[in-house]
Amino acid sequence: MIYNEKIECANKEDLKNIQSERLVKLAKYIYDNSFVYKQKLDKEGIIPTDIKSIDNITKLPFTYKEDLRDSYPFSLFSTDIKNVAEIHVSSGTTGNPTVVGYTKRDLNLWANVAARSIACAGGNKGDKIQISYGYGLFTGGLGIHYGALRLGATIIPTATGQTKRQIKLMQDFKPRIVACTPSYILYIAEEMKSLGIDPKTSSWEVGIFGSEPWTTAMRDKIDSTLGLTATDIYGLSEIIGPGVAQECTYRQGLHIWSDLFFPEIIDPKTGKSLPEGQAGELVITTLTKQAIPLIRYRTRDIVSITYETCKCGRTVPRISKIKGRTDDMIIVRGINIFPTQIEFALLQIDGTLPNYQLIVDRTPSALDTLEVLVEVDEKLFTDEIKALENLKIKIKRAIDSTVGLGVSVKLVEPKTLTRTEGKSKRVIDKRNLH
Ligand code: DLL
Protein backbone atom coordinates (compact mmCIF):
# COMPACT_ATOMS: atom_id res chain seq x y z
CA MET A 1 0.00 0.00 0.00
CA ILE A 2 1.23 3.53 -0.77
CA TYR A 3 0.35 5.79 2.15
CA ASN A 4 0.83 9.16 0.45
CA GLU A 5 0.88 8.58 -3.29
CA LYS A 6 0.96 12.27 -4.16
CA ILE A 7 4.31 12.67 -2.43
CA GLU A 8 5.85 9.21 -2.66
CA CYS A 9 5.22 9.01 -6.40
CA ALA A 10 5.53 12.74 -7.15
CA ASN A 11 6.92 14.00 -10.38
CA LYS A 12 10.61 14.77 -9.71
CA GLU A 13 10.25 18.49 -10.55
CA ASP A 14 7.34 18.82 -8.13
CA LEU A 15 9.34 17.11 -5.41
CA LYS A 16 12.24 19.47 -6.02
CA ASN A 17 9.94 22.49 -5.79
CA ILE A 18 8.58 21.27 -2.45
CA GLN A 19 12.12 20.76 -1.16
CA SER A 20 13.21 24.21 -2.35
CA GLU A 21 10.26 25.97 -0.81
CA ARG A 22 10.86 24.18 2.49
CA LEU A 23 14.60 24.86 2.57
CA VAL A 24 14.08 28.59 1.98
CA LYS A 25 11.66 28.70 4.92
CA LEU A 26 13.94 26.56 7.07
CA ALA A 27 16.97 28.83 6.56
CA LYS A 28 14.98 31.78 7.86
CA TYR A 29 13.44 29.72 10.69
CA ILE A 30 16.73 28.49 12.14
CA TYR A 31 18.38 31.89 11.74
CA ASP A 32 15.58 33.57 13.65
CA ASN A 33 15.02 30.87 16.27
CA SER A 34 18.26 29.04 16.99
CA PHE A 35 21.13 30.88 18.60
CA VAL A 36 23.52 28.04 17.69
CA TYR A 37 22.56 28.11 14.00
CA LYS A 38 22.60 31.90 13.84
CA GLN A 39 26.19 31.78 15.09
CA LYS A 40 27.09 29.02 12.63
CA LEU A 41 25.64 30.95 9.67
CA ASP A 42 27.18 34.24 10.78
CA LYS A 43 30.56 32.53 10.99
CA GLU A 44 30.23 31.39 7.37
CA GLY A 45 28.94 34.82 6.29
CA ILE A 46 25.62 33.37 5.13
CA ILE A 47 22.27 35.06 5.46
CA PRO A 48 18.94 33.25 4.97
CA THR A 49 18.17 35.05 1.69
CA ASP A 50 21.28 33.43 0.15
CA ILE A 51 19.22 30.25 0.10
CA LYS A 52 16.91 30.41 -2.91
CA SER A 53 16.46 26.76 -3.78
CA ILE A 54 17.44 23.25 -2.69
CA ASP A 55 20.48 23.55 -4.97
CA ASN A 56 21.91 26.10 -2.53
CA ILE A 57 21.96 23.59 0.32
CA THR A 58 25.74 23.13 0.06
CA LYS A 59 26.19 26.76 1.11
CA LEU A 60 24.95 25.79 4.56
CA PRO A 61 27.33 24.40 7.20
CA PHE A 62 27.26 20.82 8.45
CA THR A 63 25.85 19.84 11.84
CA TYR A 64 27.66 17.19 13.87
CA LYS A 65 26.69 14.94 16.75
CA GLU A 66 29.03 17.07 18.87
CA ASP A 67 26.82 20.10 18.20
CA LEU A 68 23.96 18.26 19.88
CA ARG A 69 26.11 17.04 22.72
CA ASP A 70 27.69 20.42 23.34
CA SER A 71 24.30 22.05 23.57
CA TYR A 72 23.04 19.59 26.21
CA PRO A 73 20.29 19.53 27.17
CA PHE A 74 18.21 22.06 25.21
CA SER A 75 20.41 24.80 23.67
CA LEU A 76 20.05 23.56 20.11
CA PHE A 77 16.26 23.64 20.33
CA SER A 78 14.72 26.19 17.98
CA THR A 79 11.65 26.48 20.13
CA ASP A 80 10.88 27.28 23.73
CA ILE A 81 10.96 24.10 25.82
CA LYS A 82 7.33 24.82 26.78
CA ASN A 83 6.34 23.93 23.20
CA VAL A 84 8.13 20.61 23.31
CA ALA A 85 5.68 17.73 23.68
CA GLU A 86 8.09 14.80 23.99
CA ILE A 87 11.77 14.24 24.62
CA HIS A 88 13.92 11.25 23.65
CA VAL A 89 17.51 10.50 24.48
CA SER A 90 20.04 8.39 22.64
CA SER A 91 23.29 7.06 23.99
CA GLY A 92 26.56 8.51 22.88
CA THR A 93 30.16 8.67 23.96
CA THR A 94 30.94 9.45 27.58
CA GLY A 95 29.47 12.54 29.06
CA ASN A 96 26.23 13.94 27.83
CA PRO A 97 23.75 11.85 25.87
CA THR A 98 22.02 13.24 22.81
CA VAL A 99 18.69 14.85 23.59
CA VAL A 100 16.03 15.29 20.96
CA GLY A 101 12.66 17.01 21.29
CA TYR A 102 9.42 17.01 19.34
CA THR A 103 6.69 19.62 19.23
CA LYS A 104 3.14 18.35 18.63
CA ARG A 105 3.66 19.14 14.95
CA ASP A 106 6.88 17.10 14.94
CA LEU A 107 5.02 14.16 16.52
CA ASN A 108 2.44 14.46 13.78
CA LEU A 109 5.23 14.38 11.21
CA TRP A 110 6.75 11.33 12.90
CA ALA A 111 3.41 9.52 12.84
CA ASN A 112 3.12 10.28 9.13
CA VAL A 113 6.58 9.04 8.15
CA ALA A 114 6.28 5.94 10.31
CA ALA A 115 2.84 5.25 8.76
CA ARG A 116 4.37 5.67 5.29
CA SER A 117 7.10 3.22 6.31
CA ILE A 118 4.75 0.54 7.67
CA ALA A 119 2.63 0.79 4.53
CA CYS A 120 5.78 0.67 2.38
CA ALA A 121 6.81 -2.57 4.11
CA GLY A 122 3.47 -4.07 3.06
CA GLY A 123 1.26 -3.08 5.99
CA ASN A 124 -2.37 -2.04 5.65
CA LYS A 125 -5.04 -0.34 7.67
CA GLY A 126 -6.68 -3.01 9.83
CA ASP A 127 -3.58 -5.21 10.14
CA LYS A 128 -2.44 -6.27 13.58
CA ILE A 129 1.12 -5.22 14.36
CA GLN A 130 3.26 -6.61 17.16
CA ILE A 131 5.77 -3.94 18.20
CA SER A 132 8.75 -5.59 19.87
CA TYR A 133 11.12 -2.63 19.86
CA GLY A 134 11.99 -1.03 23.19
CA TYR A 135 9.53 1.59 24.39
CA GLY A 136 10.87 4.54 26.36
CA LEU A 137 13.70 6.96 25.71
CA PHE A 138 14.73 4.85 22.71
CA THR A 139 12.74 6.01 19.68
CA GLY A 140 12.00 2.54 18.21
CA GLY A 141 8.89 1.48 20.09
CA LEU A 142 7.05 4.78 20.27
CA GLY A 143 7.93 5.79 16.71
CA ILE A 144 6.47 2.65 15.15
CA HIS A 145 3.56 2.92 17.59
CA TYR A 146 2.64 6.42 16.39
CA GLY A 147 2.93 5.27 12.78
CA ALA A 148 0.74 2.21 13.33
CA LEU A 149 -1.87 4.34 15.06
CA ARG A 150 -1.85 6.80 12.15
CA LEU A 151 -2.14 4.00 9.60
CA GLY A 152 -5.09 2.49 11.43
CA ALA A 153 -3.46 -0.78 12.43
CA THR A 154 -4.24 -2.68 15.62
CA ILE A 155 -1.26 -2.33 17.92
CA ILE A 156 0.10 -5.04 20.21
CA PRO A 157 2.80 -3.14 22.12
CA THR A 158 4.75 -6.13 23.48
CA ALA A 159 8.04 -4.15 23.63
CA THR A 160 11.25 -6.15 24.12
CA GLY A 161 11.86 -9.15 26.36
CA GLN A 162 9.61 -11.84 27.85
CA THR A 163 10.10 -13.81 24.68
CA LYS A 164 7.86 -16.73 25.63
CA ARG A 165 5.00 -14.33 26.20
CA GLN A 166 5.71 -12.63 22.86
CA ILE A 167 5.33 -16.03 21.20
CA LYS A 168 2.13 -16.87 23.03
CA LEU A 169 0.53 -13.54 22.17
CA MET A 170 1.54 -13.96 18.53
CA GLN A 171 -0.08 -17.41 18.47
CA ASP A 172 -3.26 -16.19 20.15
CA PHE A 173 -3.72 -12.76 18.49
CA LYS A 174 -2.25 -13.66 15.07
CA PRO A 175 -0.65 -10.32 14.11
CA ARG A 176 0.30 -10.03 10.44
CA ILE A 177 3.20 -7.62 11.08
CA VAL A 178 6.11 -7.74 13.52
CA ALA A 179 8.54 -4.89 14.17
CA CYS A 180 11.79 -5.40 16.12
CA THR A 181 15.53 -5.61 15.62
CA PRO A 182 16.68 -8.26 13.12
CA SER A 183 18.68 -10.03 15.81
CA TYR A 184 15.68 -10.18 18.13
CA ILE A 185 13.43 -11.82 15.55
CA LEU A 186 15.99 -14.59 15.07
CA TYR A 187 16.23 -14.97 18.81
CA ILE A 188 12.45 -15.32 18.98
CA ALA A 189 12.67 -17.98 16.24
CA GLU A 190 15.25 -19.93 18.28
CA GLU A 191 13.03 -19.72 21.34
CA MET A 192 10.09 -21.01 19.29
CA LYS A 193 12.16 -23.99 18.17
CA SER A 194 13.15 -24.77 21.75
CA LEU A 195 9.46 -24.76 22.67
CA GLY A 196 8.81 -27.24 19.88
CA ILE A 197 7.06 -24.67 17.67
CA ASP A 198 8.04 -24.42 14.03
CA PRO A 199 8.80 -20.68 13.46
CA LYS A 200 7.31 -21.01 9.96
CA THR A 201 3.90 -21.47 11.57
CA SER A 202 4.07 -17.89 12.91
CA SER A 203 1.25 -15.55 11.87
CA TRP A 204 3.75 -12.88 10.79
CA GLU A 205 3.85 -12.16 7.08
CA VAL A 206 5.65 -8.82 7.19
CA GLY A 207 8.71 -7.90 9.25
CA ILE A 208 9.90 -4.33 9.86
CA PHE A 209 13.44 -4.71 11.11
CA GLY A 210 16.11 -2.12 11.75
CA SER A 211 18.04 -0.04 14.23
CA GLU A 212 21.20 -2.10 13.75
CA PRO A 213 23.26 -3.22 10.77
CA TRP A 214 22.19 -6.45 9.08
CA THR A 215 23.02 -8.09 5.79
CA THR A 216 20.90 -9.48 2.98
CA ALA A 217 22.19 -12.92 4.06
CA MET A 218 20.59 -12.36 7.44
CA ARG A 219 17.43 -11.17 5.69
CA ASP A 220 17.28 -14.44 3.71
CA LYS A 221 17.75 -16.40 6.91
CA ILE A 222 14.89 -14.53 8.60
CA ASP A 223 12.64 -15.00 5.56
CA SER A 224 13.25 -18.72 5.35
CA THR A 225 13.17 -19.39 9.09
CA LEU A 226 9.95 -17.52 9.78
CA GLY A 227 8.24 -17.60 6.41
CA LEU A 228 7.77 -13.84 6.24
CA THR A 229 9.04 -10.93 4.15
CA ALA A 230 11.71 -9.10 6.14
CA THR A 231 12.07 -5.41 5.27
CA ASP A 232 14.63 -2.90 6.44
CA ILE A 233 13.71 0.30 8.27
CA TYR A 234 16.25 3.04 8.91
CA GLY A 235 16.21 6.03 11.18
CA LEU A 236 18.09 7.86 13.85
CA SER A 237 16.95 9.78 16.90
CA GLU A 238 18.58 13.04 15.83
CA ILE A 239 16.49 13.13 12.63
CA ILE A 240 13.20 11.70 14.01
CA GLY A 241 13.68 8.03 14.99
CA PRO A 242 12.42 5.10 12.87
CA GLY A 243 10.77 6.25 9.65
CA VAL A 244 13.53 8.10 7.80
CA ALA A 245 13.79 5.40 5.11
CA GLN A 246 12.10 2.07 4.47
CA GLU A 247 12.31 -0.82 2.01
CA CYS A 248 9.27 -1.71 -0.04
CA THR A 249 8.48 -5.34 -0.83
CA TYR A 250 10.83 -5.24 -3.88
CA ARG A 251 13.65 -4.73 -1.39
CA GLN A 252 15.90 -2.85 -3.79
CA GLY A 253 17.08 -0.22 -1.31
CA LEU A 254 15.28 1.93 1.26
CA HIS A 255 12.95 4.72 0.14
CA ILE A 256 14.06 7.88 1.89
CA TRP A 257 11.26 10.35 2.58
CA SER A 258 13.14 13.17 0.90
CA ASP A 259 10.27 15.69 0.91
CA LEU A 260 10.98 15.88 4.67
CA PHE A 261 14.52 14.51 5.14
CA PHE A 262 16.73 15.77 2.34
CA PRO A 263 19.64 13.38 1.68
CA GLU A 264 23.13 14.10 0.40
CA ILE A 265 25.97 11.61 0.05
CA ILE A 266 29.38 13.06 0.72
CA ASP A 267 32.97 11.99 0.97
CA PRO A 268 33.43 11.98 4.76
CA LYS A 269 37.00 13.23 4.44
CA THR A 270 36.50 16.15 2.03
CA GLY A 271 32.84 16.93 2.70
CA LYS A 272 32.23 17.07 -1.09
CA SER A 273 29.15 15.55 -2.75
CA LEU A 274 29.59 12.15 -4.36
CA PRO A 275 27.94 10.99 -7.59
CA GLU A 276 24.88 8.75 -7.60
CA GLY A 277 25.72 5.14 -6.79
CA GLN A 278 28.95 5.86 -4.94
CA ALA A 279 29.13 4.97 -1.25
CA GLY A 280 29.72 7.80 1.19
CA GLU A 281 28.40 9.39 4.35
CA LEU A 282 24.70 10.12 4.48
CA VAL A 283 23.96 13.74 5.39
CA ILE A 284 20.36 14.70 6.17
CA THR A 285 18.54 18.02 6.45
CA THR A 286 15.19 17.94 8.24
CA LEU A 287 13.13 20.23 6.03
CA THR A 288 10.10 20.83 8.24
CA LYS A 289 10.96 19.99 11.84
CA GLN A 290 10.19 22.55 14.52
CA ALA A 291 11.83 21.64 17.84
CA ILE A 292 15.29 20.66 16.60
CA PRO A 293 15.55 21.11 12.86
CA LEU A 294 18.98 19.93 11.73
CA ILE A 295 20.89 21.30 8.78
CA ARG A 296 23.14 18.90 6.86
CA TYR A 297 23.45 16.48 9.75
CA ARG A 298 26.42 14.13 9.46
CA THR A 299 24.86 10.75 10.25
CA ARG A 300 28.21 8.89 9.95
CA ASP A 301 26.29 6.08 8.25
CA ILE A 302 27.76 4.89 4.95
CA VAL A 303 25.31 4.34 2.08
CA SER A 304 24.94 4.90 -1.64
CA ILE A 305 21.88 6.45 -3.26
CA THR A 306 19.86 5.99 -6.44
CA TYR A 307 17.33 8.42 -7.89
CA GLU A 308 15.80 5.89 -10.27
CA THR A 309 12.09 5.25 -9.95
CA CYS A 310 11.43 1.96 -8.12
CA LYS A 311 9.40 -0.92 -9.53
CA CYS A 312 6.80 -0.14 -6.87
CA GLY A 313 6.17 3.24 -8.53
CA ARG A 314 7.71 5.40 -5.81
CA THR A 315 9.88 8.18 -7.22
CA VAL A 316 11.59 9.21 -3.98
CA PRO A 317 15.29 8.24 -3.90
CA ARG A 318 16.51 4.99 -2.37
CA ILE A 319 19.50 4.46 -0.13
CA SER A 320 21.36 1.16 0.07
CA LYS A 321 21.39 -0.89 3.25
CA ILE A 322 23.77 0.73 5.76
CA LYS A 323 27.24 -0.43 4.78
CA GLY A 324 29.06 0.77 7.87
CA ARG A 325 29.88 3.85 9.89
CA THR A 326 32.57 6.48 9.65
CA ASP A 327 33.19 6.39 13.38
CA ASP A 328 33.79 3.54 15.73
CA MET A 329 30.35 3.24 17.22
CA ILE A 330 29.13 -0.33 17.46
CA ILE A 331 25.57 -1.43 17.93
CA VAL A 332 25.10 -4.46 20.11
CA ARG A 333 21.55 -5.73 20.67
CA GLY A 334 20.25 -2.34 19.54
CA ILE A 335 22.40 -0.41 22.03
CA ASN A 336 24.87 2.11 20.66
CA ILE A 337 28.27 1.69 22.23
CA PHE A 338 31.41 3.71 21.72
CA PRO A 339 34.78 2.26 22.71
CA THR A 340 35.43 5.44 24.66
CA GLN A 341 32.61 4.50 27.03
CA ILE A 342 34.54 1.38 27.97
CA GLU A 343 37.66 3.45 28.45
CA PHE A 344 35.71 5.80 30.69
CA ALA A 345 34.50 2.91 32.86
CA LEU A 346 37.96 1.33 33.06
CA LEU A 347 39.67 4.52 34.01
CA GLN A 348 37.60 4.66 37.18
CA ILE A 349 39.10 1.43 38.45
CA ASP A 350 42.57 1.01 39.96
CA GLY A 351 44.73 -1.75 38.57
CA THR A 352 43.49 -1.65 34.99
CA LEU A 353 45.48 -0.26 32.09
CA PRO A 354 43.84 1.82 29.37
CA ASN A 355 44.46 -1.04 26.97
CA TYR A 356 41.40 -2.92 26.04
CA GLN A 357 39.70 -4.53 23.12
CA LEU A 358 36.07 -5.17 22.35
CA ILE A 359 35.07 -8.38 20.69
CA VAL A 360 31.61 -8.38 19.25
CA ASP A 361 30.14 -11.64 18.09
CA ARG A 362 26.80 -13.15 17.25
CA THR A 363 25.67 -16.48 18.72
CA PRO A 364 24.07 -19.06 16.41
CA SER A 365 20.73 -17.90 17.82
CA ALA A 366 21.58 -14.39 16.55
CA LEU A 367 22.13 -12.78 19.91
CA ASP A 368 24.95 -10.24 19.89
CA THR A 369 27.62 -10.64 22.55
CA LEU A 370 30.25 -8.21 23.73
CA GLU A 371 33.43 -9.40 25.36
CA VAL A 372 35.85 -6.87 26.78
CA LEU A 373 39.51 -7.84 27.09
CA VAL A 374 41.28 -5.68 29.64
CA GLU A 375 44.95 -5.53 30.44
CA VAL A 376 45.71 -5.41 34.13
CA ASP A 377 48.74 -4.35 36.08
CA GLU A 378 51.60 -6.88 36.19
CA LYS A 379 51.59 -6.83 39.99
CA LEU A 380 48.04 -8.08 40.06
CA PHE A 381 48.85 -11.18 38.09
CA THR A 382 51.12 -12.43 40.86
CA ASP A 383 48.27 -11.82 43.29
CA GLU A 384 45.81 -14.42 44.45
CA ILE A 385 42.98 -15.51 42.15
CA LYS A 386 40.36 -14.01 44.44
CA ALA A 387 41.70 -10.48 43.98
CA LEU A 388 41.59 -10.92 40.21
CA GLU A 389 38.06 -12.28 40.39
CA ASN A 390 36.99 -9.26 42.44
CA LEU A 391 38.62 -6.89 39.98
CA LYS A 392 36.83 -8.60 37.11
CA ILE A 393 33.48 -8.21 38.86
CA LYS A 394 34.21 -4.54 39.56
CA ILE A 395 35.12 -3.91 35.93
CA LYS A 396 32.06 -5.73 34.67
CA ARG A 397 29.79 -3.68 36.93
CA ALA A 398 31.38 -0.41 35.84
CA ILE A 399 31.07 -1.25 32.15
CA ASP A 400 27.54 -2.69 32.42
CA SER A 401 26.25 0.43 34.11
CA THR A 402 28.06 2.77 31.68
CA VAL A 403 26.84 1.13 28.50
CA GLY A 404 23.56 -0.33 29.76
CA LEU A 405 24.31 -3.86 28.56
CA GLY A 406 25.64 -7.03 30.20
CA VAL A 407 29.16 -7.68 28.87
CA SER A 408 31.62 -10.43 29.63
CA VAL A 409 35.04 -9.38 30.86
CA LYS A 410 38.34 -11.18 30.41
CA LEU A 411 41.49 -10.00 32.17
CA VAL A 412 44.69 -10.37 30.19
CA GLU A 413 48.34 -9.83 31.06
CA PRO A 414 50.05 -6.57 30.13
CA LYS A 415 51.16 -6.27 26.49
CA THR A 416 48.95 -9.13 25.28
CA LEU A 417 46.72 -6.91 23.18
CA THR A 418 48.20 -6.02 19.82
CA ARG A 419 49.44 -2.50 19.39
CA THR A 420 49.22 -0.59 16.16
CA GLU A 421 50.88 2.62 15.11
CA GLY A 422 48.47 5.49 15.18
CA LYS A 423 44.86 4.58 15.81
CA SER A 424 44.43 1.39 17.75
CA LYS A 425 41.91 -1.17 16.64
CA ARG A 426 39.64 -1.25 19.63
CA VAL A 427 36.86 -3.25 18.10
CA ILE A 428 36.89 -6.65 16.51
CA ASP A 429 33.51 -7.27 15.01
CA LYS A 430 33.14 -10.92 14.14
CA ARG A 431 29.53 -10.60 13.08
CA ASN A 432 30.54 -10.24 9.46
CA LEU A 433 28.03 -7.49 8.78
CA HIS A 434 29.51 -5.75 5.78
O1 DLL B 1 17.94 3.12 16.05
C2 DLL B 1 16.04 4.44 15.35
C3 DLL B 1 15.38 3.22 14.84
C4 DLL B 1 14.54 2.48 15.65
C5 DLL B 1 15.56 2.83 13.51
C6 DLL B 1 13.88 1.36 15.17
C7 DLL B 1 14.91 1.70 13.00
C8 DLL B 1 14.08 0.98 13.83
P9 DLL B 1 19.33 5.51 17.25
O10 DLL B 1 19.28 4.71 18.49
O11 DLL B 1 19.56 6.98 17.36
O12 DLL B 1 17.99 5.39 16.43
O13 DLL B 1 20.48 4.87 16.34
C14 DLL B 1 20.71 5.38 15.06
O15 DLL B 1 21.38 3.18 14.30
O16 DLL B 1 22.74 6.11 12.77
C17 DLL B 1 22.53 3.71 12.31
O18 DLL B 1 23.92 3.64 12.55
C19 DLL B 1 21.81 2.60 13.09
N20 DLL B 1 20.66 2.11 12.32
C21 DLL B 1 19.39 2.47 12.42
N22 DLL B 1 18.62 1.77 11.54
C23 DLL B 1 19.47 0.96 10.87
C24 DLL B 1 19.32 0.00 9.82
C25 DLL B 1 17.42 4.22 15.97
N26 DLL B 1 18.14 -0.28 9.29
C27 DLL B 1 21.78 4.56 14.36
N28 DLL B 1 20.44 -0.61 9.38
C29 DLL B 1 21.93 4.97 12.93
C30 DLL B 1 21.65 -0.34 9.90
C31 DLL B 1 20.78 1.19 11.37
N32 DLL B 1 21.85 0.53 10.89
Q: Residue 100: what residue type?
A: V
Question: For residue 221, which of 185, 260, 175 has the smallest C-alpha distance?
Answer: 185
For the chain, the structural domain boundaries read 1-327, 330-429
Provide the pLDDT confidence category of residue 366 given band limits of 50, 70 and 90.
Answer: confident
pLDDT at 383: 67
310-363: pLDDT as tens digits: 999 999 999 999 987 888 788 898 888 888 788 788 878 887 776 789 999 998
pLDDT at 415: 79
136 CA → ligand 1 middle, Å: 15
214-227: pLDDT as tens digits: 888 889 989 999 99
Atom of ligand 1 nearest to the CA of 213: 30
Burial 291-319 (b: 16+ CB within 10 A, else e): bbbbbbbbbbbbbbbeeeebeeebbbbbb
CA distance 201 to 61: 52
142 CA → ligand 1 middle, Å: 14
Question: For residue 236, which of 197, 283, 279 has the smallest C-alpha distance?
Answer: 283
Provide the pLDDT confidence category of residue 12 given band limits of 50, 70 and 90.
Answer: very high
361 CA → ligand 1 middle, Å: 19
Question: For residue 271, which of 423, 19, 58, 20 has the smallest C-alpha distance?
Answer: 58
106 CA → ligand 1 middle, Å: 19
Measuring CA to CA, how many Å separate 92 from each of 41, 69, 70, 73, 135? 26, 9, 12, 13, 18
157-188: pLDDT as tens digits: 999 989 999 999 999 999 999 999 988 898 89
Atom of ligand 1 nearest to the CA of 91: 10
Q: What average pLDDT is seen over the chain?
A: 92
Atom of ligand 1 nearest to the CA of 241: 2
65 CA → ligand 1 middle, Å: 15
- The CATH code of the domain at 330-429 is 3.30.300.30
pTM (predicted TM-score): 0.87
CA distance 430 to 412: 20
148-165: average pLDDT: 96
Question: For residue 10, is pLDDT > 90?
Answer: yes
Which residue is closest in CA terms to ligand 1's atom 6?
140
pLDDT at 433: 58
CA distance 227 to 206: 9
239-292: pLDDT as tens digits: 999 999 999 999 999 999 999 999 999 999 899 999 999 999 999 999 999 999
CA distance 48 to 29: 9
Pick the residue with more confidence: 119 or 350? 119
Which residue is closest in CA terms to ligand 1's atom 4?
140
Contact (Cβ atoms closer than 8 angstroms) between residue 195 and residue 155: no
What is the three-class DSSP state of 177?
Answer: strand
182 CA → ligand 1 middle, Å: 11
CA distance 41 to 160: 42
Atom of ligand 1 nearest to the CA of 300: 16
212 CA → ligand 1 middle, Å: 5
Atom of ligand 1 nearest to the CA of 208: 8
pLDDT at 384: 78
- DSSP, res 273: B
CA distance 254 to 238: 19
CA distance 170 to 130: 8
Q: What are phi and psi of 202, to 5 degrees?
A: -60, 155
CA distance 109 to 119: 15
pLDDT at 94: 59
CA distance 152 to 110: 15
Provide the pLDDT confidence category of residue 385 given band limits of 50, 70 and 90.
Answer: confident
pLDDT at 424: 63
Contact (Cβ atoms closer than 8 angstroms) between residue 221 and residue 150: no
54-109: pLDDT as tens digits: 999 999 999 999 999 899 999 999 999 999 999 999 865 556 789 999 999 999 99
322 CA → ligand 1 middle, Å: 9
pLDDT at 421: 53
Question: For residue 29, which of 229, 289, 204 has the smallest C-alpha distance?
Answer: 289
Which residue is closest in CA terms to ligand 1's atom 20?
211
Question: For residue 432, is pLDDT > 80?
Answer: no
Atom of ligand 1 nearest to the CA of 237: 11
Question: For residue 132, is pLDDT > 90?
Answer: yes
Contact (Cβ atoms closer than 8 angstroms) between residue 305 and residue 276: yes
Atom of ligand 1 nearest to the CA of 334: 1
- Of the chain, the percentage scoring pLDDT greater than 90 comes to 74
The correct CATH number of 1-327 out of 3.40.50.12780, 3.30.365.10, 3.30.43.10, 3.30.565.10 is 3.40.50.12780
pLDDT at 423: 46
pLDDT at 93: 54
387-424: pLDDT as tens digits: 889 999 999 999 999 888 899 999 998 878 876 555 46
Phi-psi region of 77 (alpha: psi -120 to 50; beta: other; left: phi over 0): beta
pLDDT at 434: 47
- DSSP, res 175: -
Q: Which of 110, 234, 254, 333 to mutate to test the pocket of ligand 1 (most atoms within 8 A of CB)?
A: 234
Output the ligand 1 site: residues, CB below 6 A.
90, 133, 139-140, 210-213, 232-237, 241-242, 299, 301, 322, 325, 331, 336
343 CA → ligand 1 middle, Å: 24
137 CA → ligand 1 middle, Å: 14
Strands 154-156 and 206-210: unpaired
Which residue is closest in CA terms to ligand 1's atom 21?
211
